[in-house]
Structure 1
């Protein structure tokens, strides 16, 4: 039995009378006429009504220590002088109650262990020099004492009536929550089916394919709850969405979200995570808004397979080949959606042909119009849908942010742990990613990180330099080296060379690209192989088209069958890469150029430039920039696409390179979020084209004319969107560009600069950019201790935003407490706020955690505080205990 438990049980008859001596006896009454009396006003050893002397307090402490020492078995282990020292320490800790600025209800809410920790933390010098046994005894005594202290509080005459009154104020809130949960409960007739459907969702989407893990002898997939890495989503600072938030919380507080992300950025993984978390009801406190919902995972590539029309709600399950679709009770889907219990996850708008997307939008609008009260998440590649594509339908639009340095480090560590590889390889790779810019700028999404990890392990630490080289090495690893090194091939089995593997699979890839498909009917794939086999006699003699297809499916590691009748690539990136190779080998340049304005062809064009020879690159790039049949908007896209291709043009006519850069430069600086996003897709090469901030041509004395105001506003927009583009290209070269804007006065520009800190090296970016930003109205976000310490070295800041996990002690100790006047808390810092009294000049507190209920009563201890800002929907308690000088404001929070 734990010592504290023994002490509490054995000491009850003795401890209770001792504890009562620490407090004054109170009269009857509800304690509601005036403010509740603080604990400091209840103790008997201080104040005008003092009845307990300091000597008496020490006697009580000595008796508590003696009883506890006996019950915990350390009576004979500690010398008398150390037991006396423990008694002195207990007296010091109990004496803290004389300055405790909380009432009895708040103390009870804190719990006896929480109260004990608090009292001990405020007298932490009391145990200096004591042995570990003595420190343990001190903690045991305080835990036992606090248990009896709280028991004494609950028996006071004023406690019960006052808590009943406070509880009655929460009845309406509780009723609403219960009604909401009841509304989300399935009917008895639907319950068994929903339980079975939830198990199906958890099984189908509960594993995550981590690229390259199978190459190390580990399973090809990993449990989603173990492998999932939460990334960030970025919102446009012009709308009400927080500038940066955890991607798995994008539906918290909003019912409709369009989420953009580049290939491999984790969109589909996020869909899986939300679906499985909802189905398993394995929800942390931040995801409780998903409780009781029913997830529908709708990959558009599957829904439109074979030219199929988009399904009605009663066809949702059958359209994705759910084996229990026929078992759903009659009218079940309607009952779920009418009650607002649906979580509709529509994945991959970009994976259907561009001409079909307007039909998909109408389909979505009809669904929302019929069943408006549900939650909707739509994902897409950035270039597939224009800015504000669904804003008129009340969708918030967000972008998956590139992986930060910490994200990359965490991914690499998890990958190696899952693969059973020593930390030495992980640490070597981390050093390489941080030391080599070319490698670091590739490791910005989970797909590329997985490729890099697998290649690093497979090649014993040697890594290719560029994107094309990484893809080439990955294909070689998947198609040939894996089977050869595992000794898979046996006499009589199908044995296809690496070159023939690639030739066959790239035919499938190019057919899918030309036909605007992300999936292919199995029969079409076999027929295409049948047509190709006569040109490859060494392959044809080893089996029929069906047998060769089965071999490619099982052994290549690139193909999979999402259903019994269809085939696709494990990732769209490999389809585009191999399709581009087939197009170049077929000299299909005119066809590539003619389709380059379609977003589905963008990555194909870029990879085609990588595969092409120098003269072929010239033909492709000049064809892109000199097309004259596109709209002005289409021409802009083509010019930026050509600029993006320069990254892959290792050898190119200098005149062609210069012309491409000149055409792209005409679109710089960007003037919209779409243009900034397009420049980001160009990659690091665009950093050489981005200008520094421009001054307005007019220098009129105020008041400015309308023309001058418009000019200044235009320049501010240019600066903001330039910074927006550069911060998304998270390489060290971007710091040079961004540093030019560190003196810009506009708050949006400064906010974008400071919130990009976590994407770069903490010290370098901090010294070059963050340290120089004007503080006026700007919150400086800190996501880890390195950033917080950097702010300290800069002299501290008056406004700080906590966006990462800190303990309250770490945050307080690493801040210049006298500087802080405005604090924004975005992370979970616990449920009590007494620790803020350490900041004597704190005047404004913004709390943006996802807790639906916040108790603000402990803020009464922060005497300097004047304003507390909370989200509109947050329910607060304890506001009646705050002083009149402190104002609670509920509003839609915005960083700028």
Structure 2
């Protein structure tokens, strides 16, 4: 985020340099890497050159020197100067080094100072507090620049960070004098049209399964009506500390769209169907409409540039002036020359790079290099990159300052909200069962908590949408397994829907499920072999033409274009782009159909050749599900075959273990061999490794070591794995860890609550955890009620959307002593007065400033 309250170097430098001792007055190693700032500041020590009173006066000068358009009312200047002086004074008490400060950058360094003086600004009004925070970022920017100029070592060891800070100084100086430059009249006119086109193009979302084949039925719905804010969690311990955690207190979970606040570069991981693309759409539409929430105020005024990787994966990352052409935007030919480059040069870009996993693994390193160069040349633009969890290794873009977030599985309240929104959208279609939609909704809401298979599947929007559609199609009778769900979906969309809705003469082509599915499988398989996510119209027609003679039921039904249009309009599984290229509505659908065709063709060697590549994982799993026993053994045996080393070998063996849950019949020898060869791989030595085991699934639980015979550190890593396996058997495993004293372990066990049946987990895990020092997270009303039934707890962490009335009713008032807000309640905190023993309010620093906190309650961040 740019500092919005600016000071030009000419006025800031003479003041900021007074905060540090002269170079000749610092110890001999002051120029060495890693010197404590506490030893460099001029206002600490036995006889400091700068007294606190002088520091207070200096802070007053900094406040008064801001540009007139940004200046505070006179009565606010003195209080803000006092808070600024106290915040800068804390530099003399922290163990932060000059290297760490420069590495953090101005915004994060300012945040670390602010969090070290909790509650210092509680007496400021919101406008004055906002001004203080932005001015502090500017002062930190000039301070870091001064550190770099006086220490060649810093500049030599961190050239990119030093270059970036110098760029920010230059930008700050320009804008302090004349403000952000306005675009030219031609650019402004185009940007207005472009914004309207983005809002129109991306404000539609297809909820899988509801896009009915009836041509009079809408195939998508307003993003405004159906957007569901999911949750995200931070990946690294450093980021968890920044988010308000401390390594012993668990990971805060925030709304995914709000979690982006305060970041400039983010790599967002999420499983297929988890909502990554929908989040990208929401950001693009909200930015285009200038309707972003306050937490994302730093993104206002930016131009959304949506870059689906599938559009340019083969050609490489486009140059700025090729952005619109690469994604085939309808206004690409009308953009003024050099427009996109000017947007990025002026740091007004909102880069949304969706689906790194859509590029073949062999090409991702090149894409990363191109993206890194782009971000270095055009630093200062916001950039969000999305990927499936295992598509790229941890810290893939960390060197470029990208923070990592991961979309969390939907909790029960989010699932209920999605199901409710889905049925509300369905009420606008042409169906004849609208009077029964409420019954279907209520029956489904009651069924999901009861059935483990459904509960395990209903964790992301894709699967929730599919479950809703099948529940409606079958009047409340649902299949439970993943393969069975997709089989039922194929039957619904490819065979039963048209006849049952009397859509018999929509076109001249009459194909039943078998022929439709075979042709769709051919298209999906072609995309798989070519490692692409779309085909041009010419390629799709050529593929259909090649296979029509082998499908007798298509004879006399029309030419390849007639058949293609029938598949496009009647199945709901294909989607045509403005340039007439074609893709499947979701990558998971493509993977399912391609896997079935690969098994049909006996292409096992091809599958095995790519089995270690992340984008083939779902294809391999579904191929095992479709394969006959001998074919299944061949596939699984091939995954264990020698010839691969390192990460490729490990990935293939873990994939073999993951495939066991999809097997219907397998010889005991192969099964035993998989268990034997993967048993020793499930003792992770890092947290990243522990998390990655979660994708393997329930089979891992059978191979994890006895939790009663491991150290606390290993027990914590095992808990990280087991809490990410959405299976009741995981509760039994975790119960064996519940009596340990380690706060880190207890925090992980508490965090895992949201992934399991609320009541059972509460009875077997939560009720047994030692509450000493432990914050118990509550993410939905079910958990809140369960905790109340247990008598409440002293320390509570709020990680879900509650109202004050919810918390006043659900929390045990005389029990609560510490409350941690990791979710924005968006209201003043005066209601906390109802808790007589509450002493501490902990607030995630990424959240907006809280107001109205009663006297006597300490605020921590």
Which band: TM-score by shorter chain?
0.7 to 0.9
Partner of residue 260, structure 2: 251
Secondary structure, in 3 states, of the residue corresponding to 2:841?
A: strand
Aligned pairs for 1:572-611 (under 5 A) are 572-611=587-626
1:821 paired with 2:798, answer: no
Aligned pairs for 1:311-710 (under 5 A) are 311-420=318-427, 421=434, 422-490=437-505, 493-625=508-640, 627-695=641-709
Indicate if the aligned counterparts of 1:778 and 1:799 stay in contact, CA closer than 8 A. Answer: yes
C-alpha distance in 2 between matches for 1:540 and 1:828: 61
Indicate if the aligned counterparts of 1:193 and 1:329 stay in contact, CA closer than 8 A. Answer: yes
Note closer, same or farther for the CA distance 1:545–1:751 as it changes in structure 2 (3 Å cut): same
Secondary structure, in 3 states, of the residue corresponding to 1:383?
A: coil
- Deviation of residue 166 (structure 1)? 11
Note closer, same or farther for the CA distance 1:485–1:788 as it changes in structure 2 (3 Å cut): closer
- Deviation of residue 336 (structure 1)? 1.9
Partner of residue 221, structure 1: 220
1:261 paired with 2:257, answer: no
Note closer, same or farther for the CA distance 1:781–1:599 as it changes in structure 2 (3 Å cut): same
C-alpha distance in 2 between matches for 1:165 and 1:228: 33
Aligned pairs for 1:18-167 (under 5 A) are none
Post-superposition Cα deviations, 1:611-644, rounded to whole Å, max 9, x if no partner, equal 111111111111211x211113212111111111
Partner of residue 297, structure 1: 306
Partner of residue 289, structure 2: 280
TM-score, normalization by structure 2:
0.75
Which of 745, 753, 768 is residue 749 of structure 1 equivalent to? 745
Indicate if the aligned counterparts of 1:184 and 1:341 stay in contact, CA closer than 8 A. Answer: no
Indicate if the aligned counterparts of 2:419 and 2:445 stay in contact, CA closer than 8 A. Answer: yes
Partner of residue 156, structure 2: none
Partner of residue 18, structure 2: none
- Deviation of residue 347 (structure 1)? 0.6
Indicate if the aligned counterparts of 1:296 and 1:345 stay in contact, CA closer than 8 A. Answer: yes
Note closer, same or farther for the CA distance 1:326–1:299 as it changes in structure 2 (3 Å cut): same
1:734 paired with 2:730, answer: yes
Aligned pairs for 1:195-210 (under 5 A) are 195-210=192-207
Partner of residue 801, structure 1: 797
C-alpha distance in 1 between matches for 2:380 and 2:507: 60
C-alpha distance in 2 between matches for 1:805 and 1:492: 48
C-alpha distance in 2 between matches for 1:168 and 1:224: 36
Indicate if the aligned counterparts of 2:213 and 2:498 stay in contact, CA closer than 8 A. Answer: no
- Deviation of residue 483 (structure 1)? 2.2
C-alpha distance in 1 between matches for 2:125 and 2:658: 65
Note closer, same or farther for the CA distance 1:410–1:216 as it changes in structure 2 (3 Å cut): farther
Runs of 4+ more than 6 Å apart: 163-181
- Deviation of residue 791 (structure 1)? 3.0
C-alpha distance in 1 between matches for 2:391 and 2:130: 47
Note closer, same or farther for the CA distance 1:719–1:498 as it changes in structure 2 (3 Å cut): same
C-alpha distance in 1 between matches for 2:410 and 2:449: 13
- Deviation of residue 561 (structure 1)? 1.9
C-alpha distance in 2 between matches for 1:538 and 1:503: 11
C-alpha distance in 1 between matches for 2:446 and 2:212: 22
Indicate if the aligned counterparts of 1:199 and 1:279 stay in contact, CA closer than 8 A. Answer: yes
Indicate if the aligned counterparts of 2:260 and 2:296 stay in contact, CA closer than 8 A. Answer: no
Secondary structure, in 3 states, of the residue corresponding to 1:490?
A: coil
C-alpha distance in 2 between matches for 1:360 and 1:556: 34
Note closer, same or farther for the CA distance 1:777–1:584 as it changes in structure 2 (3 Å cut): same
Post-superposition Cα deviations, 1:696-728, rounded to whole Å, max 9, x if no partner, equal 5xxxxxxxxxxxxxxx5xx51x32332222222
TM-score, normalization by structure 1:
0.72
Structure 1 segments unaligned to the other structure (5+ residues): 1-104, 107-162, 697-711, 871-896
Indicate if the aligned counterparts of 1:387 and 1:673 stay in contact, CA closer than 8 A. Answer: no
- Deviation of residue 173 (structure 1)? 6.8
Note closer, same or farther for the CA distance 1:233–1:692 as it changes in structure 2 (3 Å cut): farther
- Deviation of residue 169 (structure 1)? 8.7
Note closer, same or farther for the CA distance 1:787–1:632 as it changes in structure 2 (3 Å cut): same
- Deviation of residue 783 (structure 1)? 2.9
Partner of residue 70, structure 1: none
C-alpha distance in 1 between matches for 2:660 and 2:200: 44
Instruction: Name the count of aligned residue pairs.
Output: 684
Indicate if the aligned counterparts of 2:213 and 2:571 stay in contact, CA closer than 8 A. Answer: no
C-alpha distance in 2 between matches for 1:790 and 1:450: 28
Indicate if the aligned counterparts of 1:336 and 1:342 stay in contact, CA closer than 8 A. Answer: yes
C-alpha distance in 2 between matches for 1:407 and 1:446: 9
- Deviation of residue 264 (structure 1)? 0.9
Indicate if the aligned counterparts of 1:775 and 1:797 stay in contact, CA closer than 8 A. Answer: yes
Note closer, same or farther for the CA distance 1:593–1:868 as it changes in structure 2 (3 Å cut): same
C-alpha distance in 2 between matches for 1:739 and 1:330: 63
Aligned pairs for 1:222-237 (under 5 A) are 222-236=221-235
Partner of residue 238, structure 1: 237
The answer to which structure, 1 or 2, has the higher relative contact order (CA under 8 A, 6+ apart) is 2
What do you get for the CA RMSD once the two structures are aligned? 2.9
Secondary structure, in 3 states, of the residue corresponding to 1:690?
A: coil
Secondary structure, in 3 states, of the residue corresponding to 1:382?
A: coil
Post-superposition Cα deviations, 1:857-878, rounded to whole Å, max 9, x if no partner, equal x44x423x3x4223xxxxxxxx
- Deviation of residue 491 (structure 1)? 9.8
Indicate if the aligned counterparts of 1:401 and 1:728 stay in contact, CA closer than 8 A. Answer: no
Which shifted more, 271-280 or 412-421? Answer: 412-421
1:722 paired with 2:732, answer: no
1:862 paired with 2:858, answer: no
C-alpha distance in 2 between matches for 1:405 and 1:216: 30
C-alpha distance in 2 between matches for 1:313 and 1:292: 19
Note closer, same or farther for the CA distance 1:832–1:544 as it changes in structure 2 (3 Å cut): closer
Post-superposition Cα deviations, 1:1-41, rounded to whole Å, max 9, x if no partner, equal xxxxxxxxxxxxxxxxxxxxxxxxxxxxxxxxxxxxxxxxx
Aligned pairs for 1:879-894 (under 5 A) are none
Note closer, same or farther for the CA distance 1:619–1:806 as it changes in structure 2 (3 Å cut): closer
Larger gyration radius, structure 1 or structure 2: 1
Indicate if the aligned counterparts of 2:708 and 2:736 stay in contact, CA closer than 8 A. Answer: no
Secondary structure, in 3 states, of the residue corresponding to 1:287?
A: helix
Indicate if the aligned counterparts of 1:285 and 1:851 stay in contact, CA closer than 8 A. Answer: no
C-alpha distance in 2 between matches for 1:732 and 1:324: 52
1:790 paired with 2:786, answer: yes
C-alpha distance in 1 between matches for 2:506 and 2:306: 43
Which of 185, 189, 193 is residue 192 of structure 1 equivalent to? 189
C-alpha distance in 2 between matches for 1:264 and 1:167: 40
C-alpha distance in 2 between matches for 1:840 and 1:832: 18
Indicate if the aligned counterparts of 2:820 and 2:842 stay in contact, CA closer than 8 A. Answer: yes
Post-superposition Cα deviations, 1:553-579, rounded to whole Å, max 9, x if no partner, equal 222221122242422111111111111
- Deviation of residue 513 (structure 1)? 0.7
Which shifted more, 312-321 or 482-491? Answer: 482-491
Note closer, same or farther for the CA distance 1:448–1:502 as it changes in structure 2 (3 Å cut): same
Structure 2 segments unaligned to the other structure (5+ residues): 1-74, 77-122, 139-171, 244-250, 428-433
C-alpha distance in 1 between matches for 2:750 and 2:212: 40
Partner of residue 211, structure 1: 208
Indicate if the aligned counterparts of 1:784 and 1:805 stay in contact, CA closer than 8 A. Answer: yes
